Structure 1
Amino acid sequence: MNDTLAPQVRSILRAARERDVAADDRVSVSPRSLSAAFADAESDGRVPVIAEVKPTSPTTEGERRDDPVELAEGMVAGGAAALSVLTEPEHFGGSTENLERIRDAVDVPVLRKDFVVREAQLDAVAADVVLLIARFVGDDLADLKRAAEERGFQVLVEVHDRDELERALDVGAEYVGVNNRDLAKLEVDLETFERVAPHTSGDVTLIAESGVSTPADVRRMREAGADGLLVGSAIMDGDVTENTEALTRAESEGSA
């Protein structure tokens, strides 16, 4: 399966498998509720957006060198319901230290965005939500999800197609993210979410990931069934507060 991944993604996965874990103790988390944060956003007339603190990535140019805490606070000021913080160091410029600092500074749920492939990596840092990518973890999805939940994490399972969705549902995923980016070609297609979303059950919180850059994109994903959206590059490129507000207020401001 991994030989079908784009070279950049294979490099990310290889680094994740080789990365040492320096954690001395098993993490125990009392998480801030992601579903409650989404509900609060909805009641306030905001689209639930998980805004991503992403210094760089293999699919973007340059690097954002602002203080990550200031970026995070700006996103919350713009109405973000939750934050995603990259902790992958080699390809995304992230760190567990950034996540710790951000989580101490804000009062919204914080997702740890990394490429966890074995249980020990869960103990690298406390967060409210942890990402498990179905394509990366394969048959270990159920065991890793259970291990994450035993530590108190809420788990976001990322999928890209119907088969991965079925695996996520089979292990009882409560939060499912549909990545519009094809990890084989790194191409983004919003139709991916539109194809996958109808096959989820009503008790799953469904999050559209990647490719959302305008208020029109937000409305399109919401109409297709997205309970929330995870947005990185479109927010990081420019004033993060203004960019976040433009997306969180997309439904209340009418057409783009």
Structure 2
Amino acid sequence: MMNATEEFDPAVRSILDAAARRPVHERRVSVDGASLSGALAAADADGRVPLIAEVKPTSPTTAGTRTEDPVDLARAMVDGGAAALSVLTEPEHFGGSVENLERIRAAVDVPVLRKDFLLEPGHLDAVKADAALVIARFVDDVGEMVTAARERGFEPLVEVHSGAELETALDAGATLVGVNNRDLASLDVDLSTFERVAPGAPADVALVAESGIATPADARRMREAGADGLLVGSAIMAGEPREATEELVYA
């Protein structure tokens, strides 16, 4: 799927180059993972906005770094009503680690998504999680990654940015799809991306709106466009995590 000649923002190219250098783990993990899509549906049934709150110490598109214990940040998000957590494990550009994910997953009672740039099946074996992100734009065979994730017990969240990528995800058997409002080639954000792409998904596919959701109005807009869940990082990490989470969960 990934075109080696495609022009990406230099920060994205640096991330992908670092990901390509990572070791492939030979020992396959096996997980009895909690259902991310089930947690989103349960939050919806409970009258809450189904929110995946993201523990992201820093990123190429944000200023500064959060230095608090990631476990404390994660607990604050869960206390604020998050249905699930996303934890960055990319170390060089996002300040994440597999150790952070391990500690957070042991400390909370909601599903934990591993957010990283995973390019091949062996990259899945670095750490146990409940779900794993598969970015359609960056992997050569989306179906292989979806199957590999499920074989290990992860629920795959397949991320797309266009109608063509959505078709690729659906052909790969994805049942949980994230539509990223950020164009990873340019890093530009446009909430109308979700509104354009979402109608192409069948009713039995759960859709998560990702990136650019900063206010309750943004959350309502994405929900009205058909989002079954929202993934929010920067807007929560920029403030007090519990309060910022509550503001979106009860939008």
Q: TM-score, normalised by structure 2?
A: 0.97
1:39, CA displacement in angstroms?
Answer: 2.2
- Distance in 1 of aligned mates of 2:139 and 2:27: 23
Of residues 71, 74, 79, the one that matches 1:72 is 74
Match of 2:34 in 1: 32
Do structure 1's residue 7 and structure 2's residue 27 form an aligned pair? no
Alignment of 1:126-137 (within 5 A): 126-137=128-139
- Distance in 1 of aligned mates of 2:239 and 2:18: 30
Aligned residues: 248
Which residues of structure 2 form unaligned runs of 5+? Answer: none
Secondary structure at the aligned position of 2:132 is classed as strand
Match of 1:254 in 2: none
Match of 1:122 in 2: 124
1:156, CA displacement in angstroms?
Answer: 0.3
Asked if the contact 2:146–2:173 (Cα under 8 Å) also holds between the matched residues in 1, the reply is no
Q: TM-score, normalised by structure 1?
A: 0.95
1:98, CA displacement in angstroms?
Answer: 0.2
Secondary structure at the aligned position of 1:155 is classed as strand
1:35, CA displacement in angstroms?
Answer: 2.2
Could you say what the CA RMSD is over the residues aligned between the two structures, in angstroms? 0.9
Secondary structure at the aligned position of 1:51 is classed as strand
Q: Deviations along 1:22-45, whole A, 9 cap, x unmatched?
A: x46210010111122112211221
Matched letter for residue 18 of structure 2: A
- Distance in 2 of aligned mates of 1:144 and 1:38: 22
Match of 1:236 in 2: 237
Matched letter for residue 159 of structure 1: V
Alignment of 1:217-228 (within 5 A): 217-228=218-229
- Distance in 1 of aligned mates of 2:205 and 2:192: 20
1:77, CA displacement in angstroms?
Answer: 0.3
Which residues of structure 1 form unaligned runs of 5+? Answer: 251-256
- Distance in 1 of aligned mates of 2:112 and 2:170: 23
Matched letter for residue 155 of structure 1: P
- Distance in 2 of aligned mates of 1:24 and 1:70: 32
Asked if the contact 2:41–2:228 (Cα under 8 Å) also holds between the matched residues in 1, the reply is no
Report percent identity of matched pairs.
68
Matched letter for residue 83 of structure 1: L
Moved over 6 A (4+): none
- Distance in 1 of aligned mates of 2:233 and 2:19: 21
Q: Deviations along 1:215-245, whole A, 9 cap, x unmatched?
A: 0000000000000000000000110000000
Q: Deviations along 1:141-177, whole A, 9 cap, x unmatched?
A: 1111111111111000000001100000111101000
Asked if the contact 2:181–2:211 (Cα under 8 Å) also holds between the matched residues in 1, the reply is yes
